[in-house]
């Protein structure tokens, strides 16, 4: 079917190592600028797993902490950006420890912990009134930039993480 659709642009190799080497070479050439997308070669890197944070959420009909809330979905083309708004769960909550995970599980503990950020000096408000906008920016080099903005006072917190460093040598069967 591929040959019918793409004709002579399809190559068939018997040696899997050769295919990987050619693909890596092409990807390296594209990233370095030596190969232009105008030549007809376009490879798109994707987010291999969901990226998100732990939060309070519903699981099997019960509200509980430790739910995984994806901000960037698996298979998103890179570079990718996404954001969600979260709310405090306690009256007069002054801080939040935002835990960042990579994976495809519904619960945070089913995923790989990447890092955390402390969000402090939240305005003293009733539960659910303080809003925190969390934005993920994931680039082609595997850098995840996280910005958390308290919408009630415009205070911003920033962090930078490298999810793939945590995944090297890990066999995660949550695909």
Residue-level pLDDT, tens digit, the chain, 175 residues: 666 776 776 667 777 788 788 878 877 887 777 777 666 566 567 888 899 999 998 888 888 899 999 999 998 888 899 999 999 999 999 999 999 999 999 999 999 999 999 999 999 999 999 999 999 999 888 889 999 999 999 899 999 888 754 433 333 334 4
**β strands within the chain, DSSP E:** 50-59, 62-72, 80-87, 96-103, 112-119, 131-138, 144-150, 155-161
- The reported pTM is 0.71
């Amino acid at each position: 079917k591929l040959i019918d659709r793409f004709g002579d642009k399809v190559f068939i190799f018997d040696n899997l190592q050769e295919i990987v080497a050619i693909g890596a070479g092409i990807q390296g050439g594209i990233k370095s600028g030596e190969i232009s997308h105008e030549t007809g070669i376009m490879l798109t890197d994707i987010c291999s797993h969901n990226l998100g944070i732990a939060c309070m959420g519903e699981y099997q009909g019960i509200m509980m902490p430790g739910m995984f809330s994806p901000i960037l979905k698996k298979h998103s083309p890179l570079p990718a950006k996404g954001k969600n708004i979260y709310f405090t769960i306690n009256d007069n909550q002054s801080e939040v420890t935002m835990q960042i995970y990579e994976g495809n599980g519904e619960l945070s503990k089913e995923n790989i912990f990447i890092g955390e950020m402390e969000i402090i000096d939240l305005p003293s408000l009733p539960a659910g009134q303080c809003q925190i906008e969390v934005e993920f920016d994931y680039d082609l080099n595997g850098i995840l930039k996280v910005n958390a903005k308290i919408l009630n006072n415009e205070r911003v917190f920033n962090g930078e993480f490298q999810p793939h460093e945590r995944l090297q040598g890990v066999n995660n069967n949550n695909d």
